[in-house]
Structure 1
């Protein structure tokens, strides 16, 4: 049996965490054991799902001194008799590589983004942010040099880590992630969603799912939606997610006079179901690694209109499963959305193509095979 310990921040409601839960459910238990170690202050709301899937979830907080973290991680690796440490800490990835090597455990370090900015209010403080930036450069550099294998969730991520192809050479690999293929909503279920908001059954709904942070470009998204309303005044926008920019986004919605057409839904556990009842997924991010949520949208029969950026260009087939425009192309994104809303057959064709694209290339079954191929290469 191959025993793998995944090291993450916590099991929050994010794309990578959701993917990891799906992998725990897919792997054959007689041959593989995957457990999860969390370096955050808590193990996260999805921890119970990981445990139900057969994983042991371990809390190992990474404090400023790192000493307690090092001791507990080493003890966990030895007592669990793990064969591989699968390290997902990105900006904090270097130290775990060093710790694992002290007990002769090989490390796979995975990167899920092209940028590794501060994510909490504390790490955004001016001096702390600068210190974290320096730490991140040193930490990632060490992980790239010393991990037995480095994976990126897209070619765009690999290119950002190693622009000239000299640092990693044969020690890198793309590890595309996968999503579940959900049941599609019926017309009655779609109408019921609209009724729950007091809207007509044929109301066009545009959806966005993502943390309320700078990377997701919510202000640009609202600008696109304003243009859509000029041509489709009955359209509505649903925003799923939480984050530090919520007050700013709420203020912008009010100032733009969009309160009647926009709903902030907070965190949701029914995202695939919600997606299948909407019409368009709008995703104008500034940068992404390999956006799982775009895969989920296509899998749910939802065309994606997003930014032409690394990662998203690999997740979405421009013109077939969605439309990609430059980050600042507000008019272009709006025009694509309007075209889909006004042409039902065109939208249906794109929905079918997107679902087939995910079934063939990014299902959880396909993703699990990719992951286990990597683990088997270590034996």
Structure 2
């Protein structure tokens, strides 16, 4: 059977990582995925998706040209809908549920909506659309999934919330484990051999709160002049963040790494992971950091409690302020990386190991 998956964009972010993690492990002799992409540019991991039998259908984004978007969307379904047993829509907002509506019109019986966030990260208009579609989604979708309980509450209410199924953002533990060779390679390449590196991976966007990360780092730099902050990712806040680093007088100790394909290598180069998001559905970046064994500091009451797998994962209130966060960094600076064998064991026990979770996902998709 084949299913149509929506959720891959040009940016290799959390949703994209979630999808490719599962795609690498599904039994493609039983089930194959095709991908609907709202961009005519290649999406993240597209070469790998196509190489493994997936087909990518590119359409114009609704925000770029609504008429062209509707025409291209209809064409894709008119020509291929009979090939798909299900559609699986992975989004952070219900502002646009057209994909599910068109799938229903073309007779695709299994229509899955999957929530990957817990709060509005868009403008006020998309926020209103989300609220409206939250009331309609029970009539359009047949299956209601979420990455966490908080993410389920953000998308669903009443009967749809009762039907919601939490799908773990499972990680390929082996693929993300600490790699000493890659650590040395990056540190040697950039001249960071003896640096204490604090890292963050994510879209440069107010949701991920890298602005506060700069405040925290400015405080910590007063305690440890040998520290370096590395931000992996790109986004609309990049210019603002660079200007802020300059104003804080820390720009020489902050490195903007841009989009990177080998996240394992960059995590391995870090000594601590900083995760100060203002909202998250679950936080796959934090899970990947834990797989790598990194001590991690995350936003309390923002990052769900279930993300804490290792003992060295700590929560602190955003309201506590930058100095309190910097003191927590100092406290964790002497904590060693978690041992891989223990990490693997805990991820399996908590249901976040991809090898043990893929079978459950296949059953739900084929149900």
Whether these two folds match at TM > 0.5 is yes
Unaligned segments of structure 2, at least 5 residues: none
1:12 equivalent to 2:15? Answer no
Residue 18 of structure 1 and its aligned partner are, at CA, apart by: 2.1
- Tell me how far apart the structure 1 counterparts of residues 19 and 302 of structure 2 sit (CA, whole Å): 22
Distance 1:242 1:11, change over 3 A: closer
Residue 229 of structure 1 and its aligned partner are, at CA, apart by: 1.7
TM-score with structure 1 setting the length: 0.86
Give deviations 1:153-182, integer Å, cap 9, x for gaps.
1111112234xx524144211011122223
Contact 1:321 / 1:354 at 8 angstroms: preserved in 2? no
Residue 217 of structure 1 and its aligned partner are, at CA, apart by: 0.9
What is the match of residue 294 of structure 2?
Answer: 302
Out of 110, 116, 125, the position equivalent to 2:114 is 110
Residue 354 of structure 1 and its aligned partner are, at CA, apart by: 4.6
Out of 211, 216, 222, the position equivalent to 1:230 is 222
Range 282-291 or range 297-306, more displaced = 297-306
Give SS of 2:47's match.
helix
Distance 1:328 1:110, change over 3 A: same
Residue 351 of structure 1 and its aligned partner are, at CA, apart by: 7.6
Map 1:1-379; keep pairs closer than 5 Å.
2-8=1-7, 10-63=9-62, 64-65=66-67, 67-79=70-82, 81-89=83-91, 90-105=93-108, 106-118=110-122, 129-162=123-156, 166-181=158-173, 182=175, 183-186=177-180, 189-199=182-192, 201-317=193-309, 320-329=311-320, 330-341=322-333, 343=334, 346-349=335-338, 354=343, 356-360=345-349, 361-377=351-367
Distance 1:76 1:130, change over 3 A: farther
Contact 1:73 / 1:99 at 8 angstroms: preserved in 2? no
- Tell me how far apart the structure 1 counterparts of residues 304 and 344 of structure 2 sit (CA, whole Å): 16
Distance 1:9 1:22, change over 3 A: closer
- Tell me how far apart the structure 2 counterparts of residues 213 and 350 of structure 1 sit (CA, whole Å): 32
Contact 1:78 / 1:103 at 8 angstroms: preserved in 2? yes
- Tell me how far apart the structure 2 counterparts of residues 9 and 277 of structure 1 sit (CA, whole Å): 27
For these two proteins, the number of residue pairs brought into alignment is 357
Residue 353 of structure 1 and its aligned partner are, at CA, apart by: 5.1
- Tell me how far apart the structure 1 counterparts of residues 132 and 73 of structure 2 sit (CA, whole Å): 18
- Tell me how far apart the structure 2 counterparts of residues 224 and 356 of structure 1 sit (CA, whole Å): 32
Contact 1:303 / 1:354 at 8 angstroms: preserved in 2? no
Give SS of 2:364's match.
helix
Give SS of 1:328's match.
helix
Give SS of 1:347's match.
coil
- Tell me how far apart the structure 2 counterparts of residues 15 and 349 of structure 1 sit (CA, whole Å): 23
Residue 39 of structure 1 and its aligned partner are, at CA, apart by: 2.2
Give deviations 1:169-226, integer Å, cap 9, x for gaps.
442110111222234222x653443333333x33211101111111111121111112
TM-score with structure 2 setting the length: 0.89
Distance 1:274 1:299, change over 3 A: same
Contact 2:112 / 2:143 at 8 angstroms: preserved in 1? yes
